[in-house]
Amino acid sequence: MYEWRELEAQAVAQLCNKLIGRFTVRENNELVPCRPGDIVLLAPTGTDLWIFERALEDMDIPIATQAGKGFFIRQEVHDLVAIARILSNSRDTLALGALLRGPLVGLTEQELLDIVVGLPQRDGEYGRLRLWTEAAEINHPLAAEVIRVLQGLGRKGVSNFAF
């Protein structure tokens, strides 16, 4: 029953192990090697978190569970979940809209509407703003840059999953 979850946990632990010491993170305006405490794993309730904890501990990666009722209502968690949703499903326009409309990017509803109306029409319908929309077609500099960054993350995510 837990076999698929254990395989998933092992893959997550392997990825974390590859990140530690090999990638850099920004700390006090300085790039430093990634440490275990720099990695955050978000998991909804009911995902058998203990399996992930065990897989990380088996690879000698220290863990600290920060679960709490208020954690998932924090805006930064909502933003990270939106980014994860966008990267896992490039057609998730709700998550993209939430990210662009939220405080991380801060676009207004009017700006979002103007962006969509400004996209090239196809088959007589307004264009759709999605992850792989051409940034050059977006008439808002900040939105275009956010799309470029997300596309870069999307490309890295696909190329970095070779275990």
Tens digit of each residue's pLDDT (9 = 90 or more) over 2-44: 788 889 999 999 999 999 999 888 888 899 999 998 898 877 6
d(CA 138, CA 148): 11
Q: Pick from 5, 11, 14, 17: which is nearest to 51 by CA?
A: 5
Tens digit of each residue's pLDDT (9 = 90 or more) over 101-147: 999 999 999 999 999 999 998 887 878 899 999 999 999 999 999 99
Q: What is the pLDDT of residue 1?
A: 58
d(CA 43, CA 41): 6
Structure tokens at 51: 């399996």
pLDDT at 80 over 60: yes
pLDDT at 77 over 60: yes
Q: What is the pLDDT of residue 44?
A: 65
Residue whose tokens read 């977006």: 138
Q: At what angle do helices 75-88 and 141-159 cross, to 10 degrees?
A: 60
Q: What is the pLDDT of residue 64?
A: 83
pLDDT at 163 over 80: no
Element housing 30 (H / E): strand 30-33
d(CA 91, CA 132): 9
**What is this structure's pTM?**
0.58
Domain ranges of the chain: 3-58, 71-159
